[in-house]
Amino acid sequence: ELKVEQNPLFLSMQEGKNYTIYCNYSTTSDRLYWYRQDPGKSLESLFVLLSNGAVKQEGRLMASLDTKARLSTLHITAAVHDLSATYFCAENYGGSQGNLIFGKGTKLSVKP
Amino acid sequence: EAGVTQFPSHSVIEKGQTVTLRCDPISGHDNLYWYRRVMGKEIKFLLHFVKESKQDESGMPNNRFLAERTGGTYSTLKVQPAELEDSGVYFCASSHRGPARDTQYFGPGTRLTVL
């Protein structure tokens, strides 16, 4: 069964701290996505990781991809309250299908 | 540029009734996807349109669900008759023409509650 495992599912952090969200996937996918969702809002695309060793950074968030280990990480540096949201990783199952396989999401709460 | 829009944002219906959800993709996006998130579970793929054609409907749970995409523009997802287990948030996403694996842009979802 095609599966994407995220952990942790819930994360409560203090402002200023660092943490990493892990995403393990089951296929030989070469494309991994990270999305952010605020309550009641759309899923917002954060990163698209296209190849082994890819690293992308935007502000306090940095995502990486290791296709050999089938692992992606989302690292949060010096968290601030505005980062509180649910973060999803998703792999794009190859071929012409294009459908995304999602993890359950990590609900991040950053407290002052 | 307007994003993906969905209507309604919430729907509460009784078991056995019919509900139709609508999705308007980003203009010019040939690919349109429907996904669903049931409480506590992952967001799951339902189906994929390329223009007006169904490319992949392998995720549709059963024949109570009918999706259409008139003229390759907006799409509707009809549930008839609705069952309790159909409750969840239904997301629509679209992506640009070209390789089907381009970034998908999501709408805010329709929260469906079946009582």
Per-residue pLDDT tens digits for A51-84: 788 899 999 999 999 988 999 999 999 999 999 9
B106/A97 CB distance under 8 A: no
Report yes or no: A22 and A73 within 8 Å, Cβ to Cβ.
Answer: yes
Report yes or no: A13 and A20 within 8 Å, Cβ to Cβ.
Answer: no
Give the chain A residue nearest B4 (alpha carbons). Answer: A42
Mean pLDDT confidence for A74-100? 87
Question: Using CB atoms, which residue from B3, B4, B33 is nearest to A99?
Answer: B33
pLDDT confidence tier of residue A46, bands split at 50, 70 and 90: very high
Question: Using CB atoms, which residue from A45, A101, A103 is nearest to B103?
Answer: A45
* Chain B residue numbers touching A88 (CB-CB < 8 A): 43
Query: What tokens appear for B21 in the block?
Result: 């959800």
Single-letter code of the amino acid located at A75: H
A42/B3 CB distance under 8 A: yes
Report yes or no: B23 and B6 within 8 Å, Cβ to Cβ.
Answer: yes
Report yes or no: B52 and B72 within 8 Å, Cβ to Cβ.
Answer: yes
Which among B5, B91, B99 is positioned nearest to B47, based on CA atoms?
B91
Q: Tell me the helices (H) and strands (E) count for chain B, helix number first.
A: 0, 11
Above 60 in pLDDT, residue B25? Answer: yes
The residues, any chain, with a CB within 8 Å of residue B43's CB and separated by 6 or more, are A88, A90, A100, A102, A105, B35, B36, B37, B91
pLDDT confidence tier of residue B96, bands split at 50, 70 and 90: confident
B104/A100 CB distance under 8 A: yes
Size of the A and B interface in Cβ pairs below 8 Å: 62
A101/B45 CB distance under 8 A: yes
Report yes or no: A25 and A32 within 8 Å, Cβ to Cβ.
Answer: yes
